[in-house]
């Protein structure tokens, strides 16, 4: 019996392989294996999904294609969600890609920082909008503390004190 804490894919027969690879189109310029089957929604940023009950058994219904390919061709995947459980990162930034060489197993905070979201872009910043060097992030990866510019903070505090003194006079 397989370990239920990991997603594993057993041997696939010819019929299952034909069904799986029949919905994959290889992009020659990027090397991506683009999934042309169903997605998790109508939006273009959603991952490719497939029905896996014939492959993984009756308890499994829908699964992301890149997870199935990674578990089948690279290594078993840990199940669950959390700070210590690794995610699959698309190194090519193409969510429909299921090429195992374009996928990496990384921790969630690394996956977020590699992305292009607002927190990821802010984490990569080294200077404030006025060009001053930002201080280090003194929080933990799971609970970051907002970084602020010490020079701008001092200037702002001095301006507030000056305005408060002028109101008192």
The per-residue pLDDT for range 87-145, each reduced to its tens digit, is 899 999 888 999 999 999 998 888 888 888 887 888 788 888 999 988 776 656 555 56
Q: Which of 8-17, 18-27, 134-143 has the highest mean pLDDT?
A: 18-27
Shortest CA distance to 44 belongs to which of 57, 54, 31, 35? Answer: 35
Predicted local distance difference test score (pLDDT) of residue 157: 94
As to burial, measured by CB atoms within 10 angstroms (0-12 exposed, 13-18 middle, 19+ buried), residue 98 is: buried
Q: 109 near 142, Cβ under 8 Å?
A: yes
Shortest CA distance to 108 belongs to which of 136, 81, 146, 145? Answer: 81
Q: Is the pTM of this model over 0.85?
A: no
Predicted local distance difference test score (pLDDT) of residue 1: 43
The per-residue pLDDT for range 41-66, each reduced to its tens digit, is 766 668 888 887 767 766 667 888 89
Predicted local distance difference test score (pLDDT) of residue 104: 94
Predicted local distance difference test score (pLDDT) of residue 143: 58
Shortest CA distance to 131 belongs to which of 147, 116, 152, 145? Answer: 152
Residue 167 has pLDDT above 70, yes or no: yes
Predicted local distance difference test score (pLDDT) of residue 80: 78
Predicted local distance difference test score (pLDDT) of residue 54: 67
């Amino acid at each position: 019996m397989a370990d239920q804490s990991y997603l594993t894919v057993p041997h696939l027969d010819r019929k299952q392989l034909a069904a799986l690879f029949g919905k994959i189109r290889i992009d020659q310029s990027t090397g991506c294996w683009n999934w042309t089957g169903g997605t998790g929604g109508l939006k273009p940023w959603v991952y490719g999904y497939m029905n896996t009950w014939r492959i993984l058994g009756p308890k499994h219904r829908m699964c992301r294609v890149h997870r199935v390919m990674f578990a089948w061709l690279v290594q078993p995947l840990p199940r669950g969600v959390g700070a210590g459980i690794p995610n699959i990162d698309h190194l090519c930034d193409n969510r429909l890609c299921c090429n195992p060489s374009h996928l990496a197993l990384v921790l969630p905070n690394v996956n977020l920082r590699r992305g292009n979201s607002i927190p990821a872009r802010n984490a990569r910043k080294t200077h404030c909008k006025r060009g001053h060097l930002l201080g280090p992030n003194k929080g933990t990866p799971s609970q970051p503390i907002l970084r602020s510019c010490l020079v701008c903070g001092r200037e702002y505090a001095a301006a507030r004190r000056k305005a408060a003194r002028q109101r008192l006079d």
